[in-house]
Amino acid sequence: DIVMTQSPSSLSVSAGEKVTMSCKSSQSLLNSGNQKNYLAWYQQKPGQPPKLLIYGASTRESGVPDRFTGSGSGTDFTLTISSVQAEDLAVYYCQNDHSYPFTFGSGTKLEIK
């Protein structure tokens, strides 16, 4: 199984600050045939189900603010929030969408000071 490792487990920032969180996979999520990375990011706000933010490692889902940026390839991925807003309070999960069994990271909890 592909193990997804996220860091840090939590971070606390002030509104307006830039945030970076990491996701590493134990195997490459790059499909050599189409050169696409099958890595997704989800945002889960308190009391809500997860919501898709980023797919293909770097493509924003429709309606997602452009302050959210996904990057990386292969086994190393990053989610960046350029200027954190109060409504970004949530847990962020990365997910292996490359191969069965689909697996998730343990999440990065974002707190707003």
Partner 1 sequence: EVQLVESGGGLVKPGGSLKLSCAASGFTFSSYAMSWVRQSPEKRLEWVAEISSGGSYTYYPDTVTGRFTISRDNAKNTLYLEMSSLRSEDTAMYYCARGGVTTFAYWGQGTLVTVSA
Which residue(s) pair with 54 in the sheet? 41, 60
Q: Which residue, 84 or 94, has its beta carbon nearer to partner 1?
A: 94
- For the stretch 66-100, what's the b/e string if a residue is b when 16 or more beta carbons lie within 10 angstroms of its beta carbon? eebebebeebebbbebeebeeebebbbbbbbbbee
CB of residue 105 to partner 1, shortest distance in Å: 9
Where do contacts with partner 1 occur on this chain (CB under 8 A)? Answer: 1, 40, 42, 48-52, 55-56, 59, 61, 91, 93, 95, 97, 100-104, 106-107
CB of residue 83 to partner 1, shortest distance in Å: 26
Q: Which residue, 83 or 106, has its beta carbon nearer to partner 1?
A: 106
Q: Which residue, 19 or 57, has its beta carbon nearer to partner 1?
A: 57
Rg (CA), the chain: 13
